[in-house]
Amino acid sequence: VHTVRIPAYDQFDGTVDKIVQEHKGQNVFVVLFGTEVPNTGKSWCPDCVDADPFIHKYFEEKAPVDSVLIEVPVGTREEYKGKPNNPYKLHPRIQLKQIPTLIKWTENAETDKRLVEEECTRDNLLSAF
């Protein structure tokens, strides 16, 4: 599994479009989560901290080897929590409502699949994904 991190919103669309084009016919996943706190290295979001080992274990052990995982931190607690203008909440395709969110990104937005919050900690849901 190839992992790419998109550190800033202004890089999101261009990077995802490029990855989708370069990896046509392969599985592309986008995981959106609360940005890590510098002194702990872990997300400020408790649900994201809970889901992280499950998501990474799935991609290390069970995801098709040609998969791409795009990691997208959505901002600090102050930039995300209670902020309806967070760019990922406003993004026409993502319309982020909760984190973590794992999206199986397809060529057509209508066929995207997603797991949200505690669903990301369920091995059976990740495997069915």
Q: How confident is the model at residue 108 (pLDDT cuts 50, 70, 90)?
A: confident
**Residues 14-69: tens digit of each pLDDT:** 999 999 999 888 899 999 999 999 999 999 999 999 999 999 999 999 888 899 99
CATH of domain 2-127: 3.40.30.10
The whole-number pLDDT of residue 58 equals 93
Region of residue 56 (phi > 0: left; psi between -120 and 50: alpha; otherwise: beta): alpha
Each domain of the chain, given as residue ranges in start order, spans 2-127
Instruction: Identify the residue whose tokens are 């990922």.
Output: 88
Going by DSSP bridges, is the β-strand pair 28-33/101-105 parallel, antiparallel, or unpaired? Answer: antiparallel
How many helices (H) and strands (E) in the chain? 5, 5
The reported pTM is: 0.94
